[in-house]
Amino acid sequence: MLTKPKKKQVSTIGLGLIGGSLAMALKDVGFKSVIGISASNKTEQTAKDRGIIDQVASSVAKAVKDSDLVFICTPIAAIESVFRQIAPRLKEGCIVTDVASTKEGVVKLAEKILPTTVSFIGGHPMAGKEKSGIEHAEKELFKDCTWCLVPTSLTSNESLVQLKEILVLLAAKPIILDAATHDKAVASISHLPFLLSAILVNTVSSQPYWDTAAKLAASGFKDVSRLAGGNVRMHTEICQTNRVNILAILDEFLRVADELKQILKSNDQRQLSDCIEKAKRERDKLYSLAENS
Ligand code: NAP
């Protein structure tokens, strides 16, 4: 168990946007020893040179062997291999967590591969940006962000409390939910918005008048297309690992889009204005709630 969290050793496996930002944030709140490892020497060297981590480990197994807390911040596809490498080397009582954007698959793998002598809690910070890599890492990335925590059959109550306390130190807002609920919720609030952004760009950029339209692109197009400029590998992995939930919400989206299309076809001004008004009401409610919380 982590008794005095800041005095303990933390490992960050993967030092990109999320792992690099996390290492910075942990050091910023006073963690004494942050060990990191990434896929490339270049990223590891940058992390060391910029003081983002204290030490580079020579292997994933060595990165975790004396650590009390391990954050896995790699692409989703690398997590199974990381679990297999760390499983025999984890210290008894160690807390292991991850940051992957989808949770059901990761939780199943953890329960299958990790030893029962450690506590695994699935994690997902609802923070990020369109740029990836350590060069875009920043220590404030998790400030005020909701951080999903997904308890598993390997989670002890004490470790959950400790991890929550650590996230609060980083100014994040931990929220506890199960993997299935998480994946369904992010399909609609995160993955659908990304797909709509990509569909928008692909639709309008393939029109014969795109050159002219592009010259007229102002803040509205920039806002709605922002997500389409994100990390290709990450979004591909997200669509693959949350395919079923994404397909369900895409069907719903197509139904609502078709309703709007029928309203436009019938040229019913009242229905059109009701539809636009409903969306405005829901959005205003969401953001005024967020601002007042
Ligand atoms: P990223 O900037 O591309 O960083 C990924 C890092 O993982 C890179 O530093 C890469 O190393 C490293 N890596 C790859 N394979 C590895 C391996 N086998 N062992 C050790 N390190 C390895 O991506 P990211 O945005 O930080 O995303 C990381 C995770 O966070 C993903 O699971 C993603 O789903 C999740 N997430 C992302 C966001 C977001 O908005 N970006 C938000 C929440 C959660 P090199 O740099 O050396 O190549």
Ligand 1 center–CA 38 separation, angstroms: 9
Instruction: Supply the pLDDT for residue 4.
Output: 59
Instruction: Supply the pLDDT for residue 291.
Output: 77
Determine which residue's CA is closest to atom 12 belonging to ligand 1: 14
Angle CA(21)–CA(24)–CA(29) in degrees, nearest 5? 125
- Residues 155, 171: Cα–Cα separation, whole Å: 23
Q: Which atom of ligand 1 is least distant from the CA of 76?
A: 32
Instruction: Supply the pLDDT for residue 1.
Output: 46
Instruction: Supply the pLDDT for residue 289.
Output: 78
118 lines ligand 1 (CB under 6 A): no
Amino acid at 61: A
Q: Which atom of ligand 1 is least distant from the CA of 237?
A: 34
Candidate from 52, 53, 64, 74 with most ligand 1 atoms within 8 A of CB, to mutate: 74
Ligand 1 center–CA 162 separation, angstroms: 24
121 lines ligand 1 (CB under 6 A): no
Amino acid at 278: K
Candidate from 44, 48, 73 with most ligand 1 atoms within 8 A of CB, to mutate: 73
Determine which residue's CA is closest to atom 11 belonging to ligand 1: 39
Instruction: Supply the pLDDT for residue 5.
Output: 63
Backbone angles phi, psi at 126, to 5 degrees: -85, 60
Ligand 1 center–CA 132 separation, angstroms: 8
Instruction: Supply the pLDDT for residue 3.
Output: 52
**Contact, 125 vs 89, CB < 8 A?**
no
Q: Which atom of ligand 1 is least distant from the CA of 126?
A: 43
- What is this structure's pTM? 0.95
Q: Which atom of ligand 1 is least distant from the CA of 19?
A: 26
38 lines ligand 1 (CB under 6 A): yes
- Residues 116, 145: Cα–Cα separation, whole Å: 30
Query: Helix (H, G, I), strand (E, B), or coil: what is residue 38?
Result: coil
**Contact, 119 vs 94, CB < 8 A?**
yes
242 lines ligand 1 (CB under 6 A): no
What residues of the chain score a pLDDT lower than 70?
A: 1-6
- Residues 199, 148: Cα–Cα separation, whole Å: 28
Residue 113, both tokens? 């591969």
Tens-place pLDDT, residues 144-157: 999 999 999 999 99
Ligand 1 center–CA 122 separation, angstroms: 16
